Amino acid sequence: MDVFGLVGNPVGHSLSPPMHEAAYDELAIDARYVTFEPAPDELEAAIRGADALGVCGLNVTIPFKQDALEVVAADELARRIGAVNTIDFSGDEPTGHNTDAVGALRALRDHDVTLEGADAVVVGAGGAGRAIAFGLADADASVTIANRTPSKAHALAEEVPGAVGQGLEGLEDLLADADVLVNATSVGMEEDATPVPAEALHGELAVLDAVYRPLETRLLREAASVGATTVDGAWMLLYQGVEALELWTDRDAPVDAMNEALRSRL
């Protein structure tokens, strides 16, 4: 039996096990997906141990995504983003990848959103914002990063090709000409709040909210009410998992089965 898993702390509420195990069932792969919670200073030992035990692949989540970069040989995108969320053990040494960026791009493209040449606004400059900003720039979108703490937006914009950074002011003007809006902040998770004023939204926008609990955030509700294309955070979560599975197995992921397993638990 093949073993895959998730390393994080905490991981108790993760939706990855049912999502990946639905794929193993569909593809008739004899495998399990288990969660691991190493102590904060035990990440390297955990990864080396998993390698020695023949674990096939690991996802990595908070608080280990940045530290994992120091432990495995990371690919170029993961190094630029500064975080590893997927480790592959099939080669001579463990390799690190970041499927969050591609996950967000696939979520948008799956909803017929054109990214090449698009004007994209990413609100948030934390871990999710970094991955999404690099992904959008790689897809040839023009990226503006707006963040509550402007200095973090400026610092990230320095790293992302062609990007511009700013605070949260002036979103209405900025979004008037934009094609894509991504909420990469945690706003909307704890309460019915939004980082973007409703007046700034319009029907020509495609709006991706990285928040997936709840699925319908206030931002998405207000975006839908003006006719914008809306993409909830479960699509991003789904496609980062799809990308990881395809990397580990070299097979096309059964997207519908994974999506159903995920959404039935949200």
152 is catalytic: no
- CB 58, min distance to ligand NAP, A: 16
Region of 41-49, 113-121, 126-134, 196-204 interacting with ligand NAP (CB under 6 A) = 126-134
* Two tokens, residue 121: 């606004």
Q: Check residue 90 for interaction with ligand NAP (CB under 6 A).
A: no
Q: Of 147, 230, 249, 259, which one interacts with ligand NAP (CB under 6 A)?
A: 147
The answer to the question of residue 78 lying near ligand NAP (CB under 6 A) is no
Binding window for ligand NAP (CB under 6 A); candidates: 68-76, 118-126, 159-167, 252-260 = 118-126
d(CA 91, CA 220): 41
Of 29-37, 87-95, 142-150, 246-254, the window that binds ligand NAP (rule: CB under 6 A) is 142-150
Minimum distance between the CB of residue 131 and ligand NAP, rounded to whole angstroms? 7
How many whole angstroms separate alpha carbon 129 and alpha carbon 264?
A: 27
Least separation in angstroms between residue 134's CB and ligand NAP is 13
Binding characters for ligand NAP, 4-33, by CB under 6 A (x = yes): ------------------------------
The binding site for ligand NAP (CB under 6 A) comprises 100, 103, 124-129, 147-149, 152, 184-187, 189, 195, 210-212, 233, 236-237, 240
Active site residues: 65
